[in-house]
Structure 1
């Protein structure tokens, strides 16, 4: 399969729209039926989500619900949106090529913050239930982009990594370049799918996590610029990435554990209320401790 990957809010859906317009078969739907209009505002062209977004492996293929199996030989030119953690978990036999997209980390953090706000506004949350917790977007940006680079180096699949804003600024250069690399696709039709007005977040005023020091911020900027300029990653630069990851990894792990703890507590409380409803309204005043 042709994997389209990147962090959330980095242009993966835009690339799905472009490649579908280019004539490639696409796996996934624009808007799942349970997504509301508010979330559509975050991406008017569609998200192209599918159960495979978290990877193509034994847990997702065959489809656990229908039993349908996607064979590698039958889906070589099929395009599927898979987030970075899913790509890392995917069986290499399914990975024909990978188009990766990266967004500037400040812009990404602002965009993801906006998406979380939209989700909280849309979803009806029972009284007393905390909103979902999230890892700081800039830490997530680092973790996933670093993981993508490392996975590519280890497994050596063909990767074409592009910058989000260069597609919007120079589609006449980037789209033909990408389709030429793929060796397939209608360029004129693909270009018609790029809409700069879909850029729903441009302001970047927010408070970054204190772990993102000026030196680390500068390194993130340089990584993005290298991707944008196709400059490549030399050994010295990769060493700097590795050293920075050693610094950030404990912070990211701590945030992930805290996020999971909040989510477990939310689910436990929701389950307790559901049991009480089934029992005819009886309640337990003391919520159970999260697992």
Structure 2
């Protein structure tokens, strides 16, 4: 589980060692406010690739409009990424059609169209260029291609949302947090059902019911008109933490931009010609 803001890695690992509990340290990027670095060291690419690739293959970043196949550009990207993933594993030979189930996202494999033969043809067409890359370069290229997709750089959580008022029913959603805000996605198609920009988020509040169920109340709107949405989320603490971080980063970004604009306006005013009286 993620470390809390007031926890230190060495303190936690020391306690685990004393208790003889096995543990693993997994480093990942949880806030994707800044774009990918093009001058990054290999370890940076390795960490992000190992974080992004499983989510990609699971289909979390794939959107199926109306449950149908994505746009042709997305399919071309997926074929290219399949070839790059094969090369990223340091495999010298072209991928076999039977390898596609390890190289393509699950939702795309489940579609009736394109058929497996077409996928094999598309991936084969991308292989000559991909095969010329070193494995590390192939991993960097995967990140570059997927960074164009809307859900890239998201943290995903399974949540339930009540609909239809107090006597309504709970609906399953995938909650995606990224630099553009909070998104409630359809669990099968990943189309956006509800989107809250961080500028509209007023507060989040964690609530635990008598039976121990954890909820997150999300208050959105303006000072004049507000609404509260209740989400059932086992990882409500992590969701609330990420929301606070994104809100703080966006606030700092806006303040920095405003300060830069004020400085520029002051400079332009200082150099503007004055009239003689």
User: Fold match, TM over 0.5?
Assistant: no
TM-score for the superposition, normalised by structure 1: 0.27
TM-score for the superposition, normalised by structure 2: 0.28
The structure whose residues are more often helix, as a share, is 1
RCO comparison, higher one (Cα < 8 Å, 6+): 1
